Amino acid sequence: MINIVIVDDQNLVMEGICSLLELNSEFNVVAKIDDSTRVVETLHQYNPDVLLLDIRMPKMDGLEVLRAMQYEGIDTPTLMLTTFDEHKLVLNSLSLGAKGYLRKDVSLEELTDAIYTLSAKGSWIQPAVSCQLKSNSECYSQQVQLLESLTAGETEVLRLIAAGFSNHEIADALHKSSGRIRNIVTAILDKLAVRDRTQAALKGLELGLISKN
């Protein structure tokens, strides 16, 4: 049984997705949330196998939810399910730890395949979205390679570096030891092939791995 949480501020859409998923006896929708501020609390409560998360929502958008999950150390495989397919949104979602990205006009078969893949710790990007990424981004290959190489934790540390945090401040914010943060920073520098924190932040911003916000 695959336990699923659905997050969407449009109740009609959320109920429709839920009804379709429950046609599959192997899927169990344990929670439906229309208030994105309750996602972290719900994930702690149910510990689902897969999270379906909308991007454009009031109060907290999907990217903010992903950041909150990182802060709380929640690694639930997350599938972004949205009407938007701008390549920046896709890449930002993936850089924040999402494991998949589908448009809401996707077929039930593809949604089902994506959920199975994420529940098995894999990743899934809708082919049509992947093609758009390739056509709209000259640095697509490099971005994807870096997204795949950086862990969610490393991406969060990189975001804090870009925000001007020192190693000590990052350690406090993420509740880790300073030594652990130093090791993570070293790993980031190696993966991005840069010499210092400033270059790492600039490269992360340039490639869309992190946002200026």
Query: Per CATH, is 142-206 categorized as 1.10.3720.10?
Result: no
With bands split at pLDDT 50, 70 and 90, how would you rate the model's confidence at 97? confident
Contacts of 90 (CB under 8 A, 6+ apart): 80, 101, 125, 129, 133
pLDDT score recorded for residue 92: 80
Amino acid present at 176 = K
What's the pLDDT tens digit per position in 128-183? 565 555 555 555 556 666 666 788 788 889 989 998 999 999 999 999 999 999 99
Q: What is the CATH number assigned to the segment(s) 2-137?
A: 3.40.50.2300
- Please state the rounded mean pLDDT for residues 36-42: 96
Give domain limits for the chain.
2-137, 142-206
- Please state the rounded mean pLDDT for residues 90-113: 87
Looking at the chain, the whole-number percentage of residues with pLDDT higher than 70 is: 85
